[in-house]
Structure 1
Amino acid sequence: AASRAAPADAAAEEARRRREAEYGRYGGGGDFAAAERAAADNAFVSAKRAVERTQATLLRVLIAWLHGCAPAVRAFLAPAAHLPVVADLALAESPHVAGLACVLLGCCLSCGDSDETDADADAARGVLDVIVARVGLDAFFARWEEMRRSPEFAAAEAGPTLAPGLTRVTAQRLASGDASQDGASVTASHLYDVDVARFVVAFEEQVKERVISLYARPRGGV
């Protein structure tokens, strides 16, 4: 009896979904159904944007903590779970999250101490191994470049500019559905400032040099 009930329940659920798609969850059809779908889409986009912003903000905090501080890098790398999580974020759909995750991995590669020990070099080489295995070295720098090519990053790198005046056209766009795209740009633009953008550009070259030096230096500092 249970086996016969399962297909019936599935068929009923499918029929409900079709009715909801055509008439909306609360009935009415036509514009009501379209409005419900639009509201659901907007809620999904807003939630996704909030997750992106939260992840990017946490990555920026970690970058500020780890960059140039060997003790902080050692503390961050001590729990084995940290590095794979950041490596997975380097493959995120968002270019901002992925790019900042790559910058954080770069901080783990280059601790910044002039008196680096052999153990530090071996730890950095372990980070490089994780990057190669989980991300790929080409993809690692490609995601970095993708972030740099984004309009939001380019605007931050160029420095602050005066905001354009509110015109009738922009007011109409803000009042219409086109505002959702503007909201996405505003949210992403707050992920960077001019100092962060210029640091990322300069730091990328340092990370490339660090990768070359790690490949050239044998394990154990011989």
Structure 2
Amino acid sequence: MAEAAAAADEAWTNIIDETINVTVDSLYHLIFDDDSRFFKDFVKGRNITDLVISNWQNSDTDDSENQRVLTYTVHPNQMFVPADIPSTETQISCQISTDEFEKQFIINSKTTTMGHRYADSFHVLIRYELSKISADQCRMVVKARIIFTQAVMVTGTITSATLDDLLNYFTCLATGCKQKLINQNRAVPLQRPRHRITEPFYQSLLRKAWFKIFIRAISIWIIAWLSHRLVYP
């Protein structure tokens, strides 16, 4: 059993293993929310067009899983590869642990392509593992497998090119997540506590207009009284 598990794990290629200073929930929402502006902008910046994202729906086979479909067009800059490759990606998300100390999300995806000679010969599996490290830190691991459904002469070339593209894509994704969080922190000004400066009671009174008028009236009354006493002792 252990050997089988080890063999299955070896079939995956580690793409990235990054620590990101944000909660695991925030990272999940940043990448996988239906209306994530960050993800849409990131994809657009990667020259990926025609992006359509369906909403997450409960899986037909497992109530604990959610599923959605993404369609888009990739424009690779490679020789002997079509300039436009329509792609369909199916993502299945599940929360492995809800424990606040060990919270983890697993997202498995399967991507198929069209419009090129070997489109029917292989597909790509991606596995995201988002796990909590601490209250404000999480880990993002991404693994990949290239599954060949037909024998082709260029298996090594396809595998190498695909893994290189995935490494570049997910390295940029992790960097983009970190930069997004840095920008968010810069946008929120530090709130410094406001200390109320106290002053003696008599100084605060002297600043009030009504008190000044009152003092002036008293002064006039005293002067008038003294003048009267001097004239009529």
Per the normalisation by structure 2, the TM-score is: 0.24
- Structure number with higher strand proportion: 2
- Structure number with higher helix proportion: 1
Larger radius of gyration: 2
